[in-house]
Amino acid sequence: MIPINQLLELRRHLHAHPELGGAEYRTAALVAGELRQAGWRVREGVGRTGVVAELGPEQGPAIGLRVDMDALPIEERTGLAYASTQPGLMHACGHDIHTAVGVGVALALAPLAAALPGRVRLLFQPAEESAEGARWMVEAGAIDGLAALYGLHVFPSIPVGSIGLRHGALTAAAAELEVEVLGEAGHGARPHQSVDAIWIAARLVGGLQEAISRRLDALQPVVLSFGRIEGGRAFNVIADRVRLLGTLRCLDSDLYEQLPQWVETTAQDICRAYGGEARVRFRSIAPPVRNDPSLTRLLEEMAVAQLGREQVLLLDHPSLGAEDFAHYLSHLPGCMFRLGVAGPQGCAPLHHGGFNPDEACLPLAVELLATTLRRWLELQR
């Protein structure tokens, strides 16, 4: 039986005490203690502040579940009795729910340890929001010996009691883009004697968007959004330097590999046309999440049996959001699903100060994942 009151208490404690990525010290210590008490073999400090735990025989097939633990630098505006006690920090992306689900799976499987035909490994990961934690965990050996990996993420547009599944691409590849536009400073009264970096930057923003629509395949969507522009020193001085920061996303892995060179060439062409120069820096955040067919079918089968066909929503389209769960999938097959958390009054979006998921999602997710992990092991016999 799932200890729902214990999970609610844990989730609310985590929600009240959020920690940023790479600093999840209290969260990790609390999780490790719960897991040890339940009889799991626990390693702490994996991938900096990560926790890895195993149950079952030390040999044989191994299946994993990844949950993330970090919060966001967002001021909470829910008014909950267990709202964040840390000014400017909040679990606005549901990672407190994820962590509680992971502990719930541990508690649900613990009594079955002697009967498990293989190993279950839980990965409590730090720093998902900065897309660094999965790399840290991989480098620390957290997935060594695993044959497959499951993951979940709360989703505020899906009602509690339902889940969202997608075969194939679930999220996009994403990168951080920095473009520095270089011109020549001059007097504001004589722009013809200068190379106006602000004017060129304005042309660059529009020109890159136009080039995407006219020079790339429209059937392979690419989204470019600039979120920050900075430049100039005074109201009457033509700026010689402008810095733009943005994000670039697409669903096709091959196209994603080509985008850095494409952006570099296009940005240089635009800037040179107006007498300037571009310096482009491209930092990959995450590749796309592509759900493994057999793992997705198994999860769908278990979800239909538990929830009913109507509560298992097959998602028509992937998201252009990014998820560092994808880094694990470069090494082993995996599957991530969307957990419905919208209550009767709906739910604020992710990364919003009013985000308040319905906690009725907890026992549903714990049961679904515990039964799916166990069933996967049984099928390996």
Tens-digit pLDDT profile for residues 48-101: 999 999 999 998 999 999 999 999 999 999 999 999 999 999 999 999 999 999
Tens-digit pLDDT profile for residues 279-312: 999 999 999 999 999 999 999 999 999 999 999 9
Q: What average pLDDT does this structure show over 105-122?
A: 97
Express as a percent the part of the chain with pLDDT over 70. 100
Q: What average pLDDT does this structure show over 318-339?
A: 96
Tens-digit pLDDT profile for residues 119-160: 999 999 999 999 999 999 999 999 999 999 999 999 999 999
pLDDT value of position 353? 98
- What are the CB-based long-range contacts (under 8 Å, 24+) for 22-31? 22/48, 22/49, 22/70, 22/126, 22/127, 22/130, 22/132, 22/133, 23/49, 24/49, 24/69, 24/70, 24/126, 25/49, 27/69, 27/99, 28/69, 28/124, 28/126, 31/69, 31/99, 31/102, 31/103, 31/124
Q: What average pLDDT does this structure show over 366-370?
A: 98
Structure tokens at 139: 């480098």
Q: What average pLDDT does this structure show over 182-209?
A: 97
Q: What average pLDDT does this structure show over 193-197?
A: 98
Q: What average pLDDT does this structure show over 361-377?
A: 98
pLDDT value of position 2? 80
Average pLDDT, the chain: 97
Q: What average pLDDT does this structure show over 367-371?
A: 98
Tens-digit pLDDT profile for residues 39-58: 999 999 999 999 999 999 99
pLDDT value of position 1? 74
Domains of the chain: 4-169+289-379 (3.40.630.10), 173-286 (3.30.70.360)
